[in-house]
Amino acid sequence: MDLSPIGGSFTCCGVPANQRGVVVGHMRGVRGGRRRRWRQRQVNGCCCSWAMDEGSRMWMVTCTAPVNIAVIKYWGKRDEELILPINSSLSVTLHQDQLKSTTTVAASRDFKEDRIWLNGKEENINHPRLQTCLREIRRLARKRRTSGDGNSNTLSLHHKVHICSVNNFPTAAGLASSAAGYACLVYALAKLHGLEGELSEIARQGSGSACRSMYGGFVQWMMGVKEDGSDSIAQQIEPETHWSELRVLILVVSAEQKPIGSTAGMQTSVKTSPLLKYRTEIVPERMKEMIDAIKRQDFETFGQLTMKDSNQFHATCLDTFPPIIYLNDISKRIINLVHRYNSHFGETRVAYTFDAGPNAVIYIREQHVDEFVEVVKHYFPPEENGEHLVFFPRFLKGLPVNSVSVSEHLKSSIQMDSIKSGIQYIINTQVGPGPQLIQDANLHLLGENGFPKQ
């Protein structure tokens, strides 16, 4: 294998470097206590910049992946190890301009062991789900290499990897952080090994909902029937461009970690909830209706099904023994507000859904965003002064929202008491694309020495 910076023959992200490589920079780095010469090359159209020295070779890739929010929920596994669900589910991928995981993976023969840093802290790489993802990617790379199939590059499968990942949103606050995190990890590892194609089966084994974050737009996770899980994969129903007026508001009620994680919660539900068994019977029909509503951009049906499915999921949680309660008083007030708002207009203009936490995710069309946000501000006024503001200086984040006035008529239909600082902040976002490669080598989270930059 020729790793010389010019005229090298290794393939990277599927394209031989000698067909398109350009040296974009030379850097000096300190490694192993002595100053050594590093070169970094960005390969056109691909993320794989790499640094090298005589004897030291490092491959590095940085990717981002999105959060997805289910409108038909996944809750319950039929196989804990392979993460196979008891029902199919469907989600909307959120735009990475507002919410994303970023992951850098580096491989080098100088690394002694696989290591991972999450949100600035080193974590145990031996976590079984992490190990599964690493093993499955290496297995796939080996398979493709043996069969001479695909674009698997020449990176040695014996090289250890360093992984560094950050989220730009609160981890484990019911905002599907594990989905974005595992999707990003699997995508980045795949790019590192030059693997293309179907990867949702591997992401699923990191966290079930992660398989849906492997695609943009509107995505279904088909439960599958095979025992080995090979047909339990995600599939895009429509791309992010399909329903351009759709907006998503995240009402952050609490950024604290949830009391019972999804994995443990759904295990207890499978064991104890009769309602969950009933749910598996009705989801197939609901999936069909939802797909149809999305394809027709029928917000009335989409919104109603979304709310009904969220309610049934939380009813299942309450039907679990001992019960699991993710919604708090503010969540319930938001549910009330949405129903009163919709009934004032005699149509479904706004739809809520809640995952394993109290934060509300609101689906809404662009033309109603300004007014609804104003209504939320009226009933959940942000704290004007005080400590609170130090942590959350902006109540509105993401896409711009205009200030409008709310009619007295609407207020009198809603008739609710207002609760100061019940909602910490709102993120206004939209439907977005799937995982992305980061072309700019300056954005790697790992430095030239293969360790986190800060």
Residues that bind ligand DP6 (CB under 6 A): 70, 73-75, 83, 89, 176, 178-179, 207-209, 262-263, 355-356
Contact 397, 427 (CB under 8 A): yes
**φ/ψ bin of 29: left (φ > 0), alpha (ψ from -120 to 50), beta (otherwise):** beta
Reading phi first (left if > 0) and then psi (alpha if -120 to 50, else beta), residue 394 is in beta
- Residue whose CB is nearest to ligand DP6 in the complex, by number: 208
Please tell me the distance from the alpha carbon of residue 217 to that of residue 235, in angstroms, as a whole number.
Answer: 10
Structure tokens at 308: 């009904």
Sign of the alpha-carbon torsion through 213, 219, 223, 224: negative
Q: Is the C-alpha dihedral spanning 13, 15, 18, 21 positive or negative?
A: negative
The runs of H, that is alpha helices, within 36-176 are 128-147
> Minimum Å distance from CB 386 to ligand DP6?
32
Nearest to 252 by CA among 424, 68, 75, 370: 424
CB of 306 to ligand DP6, least distance (A): 12
How far apart (Å, rounded) are the C-alpha atoms in residues 305 and 32? 58
Q: Which is nearer to ligand DP6, 56 or 178 (CB)?
A: 178
Minimum CB separation of residue 74 from ligand DP6 in Å reads 3
Cβ closer to ligand DP6: 77 or 365? 77
Q: Which is nearer to ligand DP6, 15 or 283 (CB)?
A: 283
User: Are the beta carbons of 353 and 71 closer than 8 angstroms?
Assistant: yes
Nearest distance from residue 215's CB to ligand DP6, in Å? 14
At its nearest, how many Å lie between ligand DP6 and the CB of residue 72? 8
For residues 235 and 263, which CB has a smaller minimum distance to ligand DP6 in the complex? 263
Residues, the chain? 454
CB of 324 to ligand DP6, least distance (A): 10
**Between 64 and 232, whose beta carbon lies closer to ligand DP6?**
232
For ligand DP6, which is the closer residue by CB, 70 or 195? 70
Instruction: Report the nearest approach of ligand DP6 to the CB of residue 130 (Å).
Output: 12
What is the residue whose two structure tokens read 């009402």?
251
Supply the minimum distance, in Å, between the C-beta of residue 295 and ligand DP6: 20
Phi, psi of 238 (to 5 degrees): -145, 145
**In this complex, which beta carbon is closest to ligand DP6, that of residue 52 or of residue 361?**
361
Q: At 64, phi and psi to the nearest 5?
A: -125, 155
Nearer to ligand DP6, 192 or 283 (CB): 283
Cβ-in-10-Å burial (0-12, 13-18, 19+) of 154 comes to: middle
Q: Tell me whether residue 123 is exposed, middle or buried, using C-beta atoms within 10 angstroms of its C-beta: 0 to 12, 13 to 18, 19 or more.
A: middle
- Nearest CB to ligand DP6, comparing residues 208 and 434: 208
In the bound state with ligand DP6, the residue whose beta carbon lies nearer, of 46 and 214, is: 214
Quick one: 73 or 333, whose CB is closer to ligand DP6?
A: 73
Cα separation values, 309 from 222, 227, 313, 354, 411, Å: 17, 27, 6, 10, 28
Type of residue numbered 209: S
Residue 16 DSSP code: E
Taking the complex as a whole, how short is the minimal distance between the CB of residue 208 and ligand DP6, in angstroms? 3
The reply to whether omega before 322 is within 30° of 0 (cis) is: yes
Distance in Å, CB of 17 to ligand DP6, minimum: 37
Look at residue 313 and give its three-state secondary structure: helix
| C-alpha separations of 365 from 66, 88, 170, 337, 416 in Å | 21, 26, 25, 17, 24
Minimum distance, C-beta of residue 91 to ligand DP6, in the bound complex (Å) = 6
165 or 207, CB closer to ligand DP6? 207
CA distance 337 to 304: 15
Q: Minimum Å distance from CB 328 to ligand DP6?
A: 16
Residue pair 38/28 in contact (Cβ under 8 Å)? The answer is yes
